[in-house]
Structure 1
Amino acid sequence: MANQEGHRRFGNIRKRESGRYQARYPGPDGRMRSAPQTFARKPEAEKYLSLIEAQMMRGEWIDPERGKIRLRDYAERWITERPNLRPRTVHLYRWTLGRHITPYLGDMPLNRIDTPMVREWRARLLAEGVSVTMAAKAYRLLRAVLMTAVKEDELIRINPCRVVGADQEKPAERPVLTVPQIFALAERMPERFQALILVTTFGCLRWGEAVALQRCDVDLAAGTVRVRQAFVEHRGTGLILGPPRSRAGVRTVALPKAALPVLKQHMSGHVGEAPEAFVFTGESGRTLWRGNFNKLVKWSESVAAVGVPGLHFHDLRHTGNTLASRAPGASLRDIMARMGHDNPRAALIYQHANREADQGIADAIDKAVKAARRKPSKRKVKRVTEGDGPAAEAS
């Protein structure tokens, strides 16, 4: 039999047959609730009840019954009810959830997940060979799900995702093509894909934006392309044509004059006359799939031949962004508009990189100046003393 341990102003404590202490307290609705765990010592149970009472007085108490929903169920509902998610984003969230989160934490009630558990989960991912980048993506998704549980649904009091640095990625530095390499890569492509390389790079376009261009989006006289839509590849559904990632993604981009002859030739030889004809298609006239493109053009061999083995197609946009940020007089707003971003963070990265490069140049010049000043002068001045002829030398 459990023994009753006295009376308290708030809640009660009793000693179990196991020797541990159980704490119970009344909620605002008058219904008694038990602490989720028992305590080895009575003062620990008393401290727990004092904390619960203080939370109620401050209006911060959350019914623990609300937080008993399993993480896998809540996360799936979170994805389904999340507004304005693109189909590809939904697919990536569900893939990340099913691959890296729910196998480890899916059966845990939300209110039982704590920071040490999150830290152990992340360490296990890394120990099993998951990259730091992928682990950071999974961590950010988990944090976003639990933040909604805290702030919007009030299922738990605090977000347990408090592992310092767990949200940070350290991806390898991506290559940036030189201008000669850009044109060399385009020339190695089959003739119908040469303009795709130039437009994607110099226009700072994403793959989905480039392959969604239609004849009506190209103005050869003005030298511009208009981005107003993008293709998204969705497994199980196929290609979905929709708006760009954000409102800022709808934009008109000017191309350098050097790229226009190739684009003009492409438009006349490979694009239908109808305004809605897609600009970049396969040999059969069908829309290009990203997953098939590399094999179609022997991408690995081509990028290795121009001196950038391992280059990804997305690095063409990265190259274009870098070139844009180096343009004299290009402001942060100008770079954001060209990239199609409504958040300055990405544009600031390019500006910061260029400032670092410029500072490196300045440091190198400064080093050369200091080295030159440290060298002793080799010039010798001859002093002629009257009557002595050319005699003593003095520096």
Structure 2
Amino acid sequence: MARRDYGSVRKLPSGRWQARYRNRGGRMVSAPETFTTKGDATAWLAQAQTDQARGQFIDPRAGRITLGTFADRFLTERVLAERTAETYRGLLDNHIRPTLGDIEMGQLAPGTVRAWHAQLARRHPSTAAKAYRLLRTICNTAVLDEVIARSPCRVEGAGTERAEERPIATLEEIAVIVEAMPARFKALVLLATWCQLRKGELCALRRRDIDPMRSTLTVAQNLQQLRDGRLVIKEPKSAAGRRTVVIPSQVLPVLVEHLATFTAADSDALVFTGEHGGPVRPHVLQKHWARARVAAGRPDLHMHDLRHTGNTWAAATGASTRELMARMGHSTPDAALRYQHATEDRDRVIAEALAGLTKPAPVVAIERAMGASPADADSNPPLH
């Protein structure tokens, strides 16, 4: 048996060779596999010693924990908001564990992750992106915990969600929707549109958050319903989420009337409540919303599209990226830039339409010569 300060190599009765190394605690540990030749065993031992000296050595036994077991430990050790914990657990149990959960962390290969993601993405692209981001975070944690040497999550762009362009409503459609909603929810629709608030932010507004004298409202909390039906009120996820928004002048009188009619006098009272004074239940609001959007002839609209509509209108006013970010409550410019891009596209259409109204006289004469009707010509009079 050959001995070293770091470890040893010996021949087993089977004829194969075993390498043993000294771990950080000073205990001798066998390599996870045996070798055909003494040279192979010695080479493995030398590489292990080099990696350990560089701080790159991972105990092969650490990677024998399954992904499912490590992921459960990952979720248990994290301090997560209840809604986030629910989301992560759903992604893990429904989309990650069935395919990858029984694979040992040390055996989880990039090709396996790539195949899993491709299959899920074909059926549920958005869910695949969310599940991949969670798996990537779990594997990065495994690297930090020295369970594996390198993350197998190496699919470029797999964690990016490519959301479809959402529809926007017209002014006339918003008016119909407001009219079709119950009186206690009319102001809610207007704030969702003109102040670009999320549903959870609207349902968590309190009387103290409204300042009629300054025509402002402050977003300080967010109401969420968990899968078990419990309602929880949380602080915004980021500092940007807590913000003060100026209320457009045409909306303020409606909101003031709502406060006088439906909101209790206590400063802590919720601005929007159910019929019995409690927090608004999402399914109740959705029931009324479903009827109102049909009345407007827009069954394709989701309530969140009110915020999308308002943001698009805000971008069309010429608001800067920073101004849109502040009003929307975003800490990064990505969403604001999307709205500005949409506005630029629309502006190009408008410009082309305007150009059609100013055709020079020679163009009109040519069109007449080619058979254009007098009505067509008159609809595009030359400018003098």
Is the structural similarity TM-score above 0.5? yes
Q: Is the 8 A contact 1:22 1:35 kept in 2?
A: no
Q: Secondary structure at the match of 1:257?
A: coil
Q: Please show how residues 176-191 of structure 1 align to structure 2 within 5 Å.
A: 176-191=168-183
Q: Is the 8 A contact 2:19 2:41 kept in 1?
A: no
Match of 2:136 in 1: 143
Q: Secondary structure at the match of 2:151?
A: coil
Distance in 2 of aligned mates of 1:301 and 1:207: 17
Q: Assess, with a 3 A threshold, how the Cα gap between structure 1 residues 72 and 292 changes in structure 2: closer, same or farther.
A: farther
Q: Please show how residues 298-317 of structure 1 align to structure 2 within 5 Å.
A: 299-317=289-307
Match of 1:123 in 2: 118
| Equivalent residue for 2:264, pick from 266, 272, 275 | 272
Distance in 2 of aligned mates of 1:323 and 1:86: 33
Aligned: 1:325 with 2:315? yes
Match of 1:33 in 2: 30
Q: Is the 8 A contact 1:22 1:34 kept in 2?
A: no
| Equivalent residue for 1:248, pick from 214, 228, 240 | 240
The aligned amino acid for 1:313 is M
Q: Is the 8 A contact 2:205 2:221 kept in 1?
A: yes
Match of 1:58 in 2: 54
Q: Give unpaired runs (5+ residues) of structure 1.
A: 379-395
1:355 Cα offset (Å): 3.6
Which structure is larger by alpha-carbon Rg, 1 or 2?
Answer: 1
1:254 Cα offset (Å): 1.0
Distance in 2 of aligned mates of 1:251 and 1:207: 15
Q: Secondary structure at the match of 1:258?
A: coil
Q: Assess, with a 3 A threshold, how the Cα gap between structure 1 residues 337 and 34 changes in structure 2: closer, same or farther.
A: same
Q: Is the 8 A contact 1:177 1:319 kept in 2?
A: yes
1:359 Cα offset (Å): 5.2
Q: Assess, with a 3 A threshold, how the Cα gap between structure 1 residues 360 and 74 changes in structure 2: closer, same or farther.
A: farther
C-alpha distance after superposition, 1:95-120 (max 9, x if no partner): 11111111222222222211111122
The aligned amino acid for 1:33 is S
| Equivalent residue for 1:215, pick from 198, 207, 213 | 207
Q: Is the 8 A contact 2:17 2:36 kept in 1?
A: no
1:162 Cα offset (Å): 0.8
| Equivalent residue for 1:160, pick from 142, 145, 152 | 152
Aligned: 1:98 with 2:93? yes
Match of 1:342 in 2: 331
1:265 Cα offset (Å): 2.1
Q: Secondary structure at the match of 2:250?
A: helix
Match of 1:229 in 2: 221
Match of 1:389 in 2: none
Q: Is the 8 A contact 1:136 1:167 kept in 2?
A: yes
Q: Assess, with a 3 A threshold, how the Cα gap between structure 1 residues 351 and 45 changes in structure 2: closer, same or farther.
A: farther
C-alpha distance after superposition, 1:118-177 (max 9, x if no partner): 1222234346x4x11111111111101111221x32221111011233223233221112
Q: Secondary structure at the match of 1:221?
A: coil
Distance in 2 of aligned mates of 1:232 and 1:79: 20
1:67 Cα offset (Å): 2.4
The aligned amino acid for 2:28 is R
The Cα RMSD (Å) is 3.6
Distance in 2 of aligned mates of 1:365 and 1:11: 82
C-alpha distance after superposition, 1:311-367 (max 9, x if no partner): 111111222222222222x222221111112233322332333344445656x4899
Paired residues, number: 362
1:277 Cα offset (Å): 1.6
Q: Give unpaired runs (5+ residues) of structure 2.
A: 367-384
Q: Assess, with a 3 A threshold, how the Cα gap between structure 1 residues 48 and 118 changes in structure 2: closer, same or farther.
A: farther
Distance in 2 of aligned mates of 1:196 and 1:117: 47
Q: Percent identity?
A: 40
Distance in 2 of aligned mates of 1:338 and 1:41: 68
